[in-house]
């Protein structure tokens, strides 16, 4: 097992909006799976093991959402996605920041990092935004 990174991130309570700091540990297992471990509170750690960092992050997010929490990082930002090509590079941790009506990403981000422009969203809200982005491309190409 190889430790790839440790990130200090925030969790946001979906009801109260309160935030607290947490630690995300990213590891590559001997079998090639990416393992994420998130310290949720003093008593518990959530883990996810998937083929890519994006898939592991999605699994972790779904578990957090079930407990009423959003993780704040670029991978959870409303307008960020990981392209199929990026999933096949490295551990699948390079995301593209998208803008409605504009083909291609504005720039790339590390999905496990954070910044002041992160717009944390649920997995479903992020998927819905991505579908709206795809429709905006179709609308622009037919105009």
Is the Cβ–Cβ distance between 59 and 80 less than 8 Å?
A: no
Per-residue pLDDT of the chain (143 residues; tens, 9 = 90+): 576 778 899 999 999 999 999 999 999 998 989 999 998 876 689 999 999 999 999 999 999 999 999 999 999 999 999 987 777 777 888 999 999 999 876 789 999 999 999 999 999 999 999 999 999 988 877 65
* Spatial distance between the Cα atoms of 106 and 109, rounded to a whole number of angstroms: 10
* Spatial distance between the Cα atoms of 119 and 17, rounded to a whole number of angstroms: 13
Entry pTM: 0.91
* Spatial distance between the Cα atoms of 11 and 13, rounded to a whole number of angstroms: 7
In the three-class reduction of DSSP (H, G, I as helix; E, B as strand; rest coil), residue 114 is classed as coil
CA-nearest of 75, 69, 95 to 17 is 69
- In Å, how far from its chain's centre is CA 29? 20
């Amino acid at each position: 097992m190889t430790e790839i990174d440790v990130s200090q991130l925030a969790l946001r309570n979906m009801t109260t909006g309160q935030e607290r700091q947490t630690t995300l540990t990213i590891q590559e297992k001997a079998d090639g799976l990416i393992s994420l471990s998130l310290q949720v509170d003093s008593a518990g750690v959530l883990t996810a093991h998937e083929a890519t960092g994006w898939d592991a992050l999605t699994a972790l997010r779904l578990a957090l959402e079930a407990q009423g929490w959003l993780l704040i990082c670029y991978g959870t930002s409303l307008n960020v996605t990981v392209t199929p090509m990026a999933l096949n590079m490295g551990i699948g941790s390079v995301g593209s920041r998208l803008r409605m009506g504009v083909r291609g990403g504005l720039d790339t981000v590390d999905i496990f990092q954070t910044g002041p422009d992160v717009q944390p969203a649920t997995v479903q809200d992020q998927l819905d935004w991505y579908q709206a982005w795809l429709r905006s491309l179709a609308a622009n190409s037919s105009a």
